[in-house]
Chains A and B, each alone.
Chain A
Amino acid sequence: MKKMWILLSILLSLCLTSCQAPVSRYDGQEATVDIFAMNTYMTLTAYGENAQEALARSRERIQQVEKLWSVTDEDSDIFRANHSGGQTVSVSAETADLLAFALEMAQKTGGTLDPTIYPVLTAWGFTTDTKQIPSQQEISALLPYVGYNRIQLDGTNLTVPDGMQLDLGSVGKGYAADLVTEILKEYGVTSALLSLGGNIQAVGSRPDGNPWRIGIQAPWEDGYLGILQIRDAAVVTSGGYENYFQDEEGNIYWHILDPSTGYPADSGLQSVTIIGREGRLCDSLSTSLFVMGAEKAETYWRENGDFDMLLLTDDGEVIVTEGIADDFSLSDGQEKTIRVLER
């Protein structure tokens, strides 16, 4: 009889506790802004006293730099340089700074990231949503206009050779996230989470002190490959699944082009996630390591190593670097093998 009562009370206590909320609520000040800019949807959330003002300032800043870097806005620095007929134009300090960074990354990554790929991307219709397969002749005719090393930047004087086109899309969002992070810190914000069209950047940790939990998209399916826990870091993923089209035979063509061939990168990777301190570095590396493939990406990491990465291969292997191995967990139902890279 006594046993029965013990059993009953255990059961009863289980019933009473099972509905407890899994996440502790934050009752301080929280502010969120939504922004449509840089061809994407951004959500910025900040916590604490100055959150509201800091986000208002951040929104202004993003809209400001968007005006400078837009490829289609006729008043932008980039548009003026692209349509100068090879003449030198004077650009803003921000544009020069971002471009200098993009050119440096292009060089460091052996041209797997190339901010001058735009004419070929346009031929594929990825810039206008009129996706199509260009002919080999068309691509061959455009490739001579691709080559980051022919862009001249001298201080804030920029020269884009006639026929070439610059596009800072592959680093712009990362750079914008860095600018916002700076602003938030100036305002004393110690907890914020930014999502700039899938580019995630965390300032500090969650208001309750725990790390932020970021879902890493599973390519070609609903749901997540896994969850990554981060503090004070940027997380940027590139994958073919983000923007692609199919021909009648079911072949898939995606938006990440190999600048050396002008065709979609086919390096054996499905997605690349880069985790690091700076959004701009993560943004540029997620694209270039996707083009490189797993082996070269590993070499790049060993040689440069100021970041962590997560690679998903065509064979369903997940390769993670040691710095984040303990912070990543596969989602339920994701049957993948995980290989950890150690230095």
Chain B
Amino acid sequence: MKKWPYVLLGIILLVGIVGSILVYRRPDTAIVEVVQDGQMLYRFDLSQEEDGIMEVEYEGRINKIEIRDHQIHMLEANCPDQTCVNMGWLDSSAPIVCLPNHLVIRFAESSSELDAAG
């Protein structure tokens, strides 16, 4: 009985397991769009983006968007409801929307298996 088929089997299994973990851990898409009133303000690859804060203005009101550790969220918004700030970090289930300031932060392509949510 030769041993090499078992070694080969082991290697294939290992490569498969490691590969699966990598595929599942990496989000399918990391391209993020910051859109105001239908106009694309920024579009970048979140996995490549450095930490930082960007400011977006709308009719004199400011939204501060923070990127940290390849995640993105609304740090501050001078609007009364603070819904967008409370939404936390962007995930694939829903875009971050600031209604009063007409601002949307979203993944360019949804990795979700759903067509819409309601």
Does A193 sit at the interface, judged by CB under 8 A? yes
Within A89-132, the residues touching B (CB, 8 Å) are 128-130
- Size class of the contact patch on chain A: 35 or more
Interface contact A237-B118, CB-CB below 8 Å: yes
- Who on chain B is nearest to A128 by CB? B80
| Interface segment, one of A180-188, A212-220, A322-330 | A212-220
Given contacts A7-B9, A8-B8, A34-B38, contact A193 B115 (CB under 8 A): yes
Q: How far is the CA of A167 from the CA of B102 in the complex (A)?
A: 23
Q: How far is the CA of A15 from the CA of B14 in the complex (A)?
A: 11
| Interface segment, one of B15-23, B43-51, B60-68 | B15-23
Q: How far is the CB of B98 from chain A (nearest CB, A)?
A: 9
Interface contact B115-A213, CB-CB below 8 Å: yes
Indicate with 1 or 0, residue by residue over A195-228, a CB within 8 angstroms of chain B CB atoms: 1001110000010000011111100001110010
Q: How far is the CA of A129 from the CA of B19 in the complex (A)?
A: 48
Given contacts A18-B20, A36-B99, A39-B99, contact A11 B115 (CB under 8 A): no
Does A19 sit at the interface, judged by CB under 8 A? yes
Our pick among A14, A18, A41, A215 for the contact of B104 (Cβ within 8 Å) is A41
Interface contact B9-A217, CB-CB below 8 Å: no
Interface contact A198-B118, CB-CB below 8 Å: yes
Contacts of B99 on A, CB cut-off 8 Å?
A: 36, 39-41
Contacts of B38 on A, CB cut-off 8 Å?
A: 33-35
Indicate with 1 or 0, residue by residue over B30-62, a CB within 8 angstroms of chain A CB atoms: 000001011000000000000000000000000
> Which residue, of A12, A41, A217, A273, has the highest number of chain B Cβ atoms within 10 A?
A41
Q: How far is the CB of B23 from chain A (nearest CB, A)?
A: 6
- Who on chain B is nearest to A234 by CB? B118
Interface contact B23-A19, CB-CB below 8 Å: yes
Within A1-43, the residues touching B (CB, 8 Å) are 1, 4-5, 7-8, 11-12, 14-15, 18-19, 22-23, 33-36, 39-41
Mark A residues whose CB is within 8 Å of B: 1, 4-5, 7-8, 11-12, 14-15, 18-19, 22-23, 33-36, 39-41, 128-130, 193, 195, 198-200, 206, 212-217, 222-224, 227, 235-237, 273
Q: Nearest 4 A-B pairs (CB), nearest first?
A: A215-B117, A200-B118, A129-B80, A215-B114
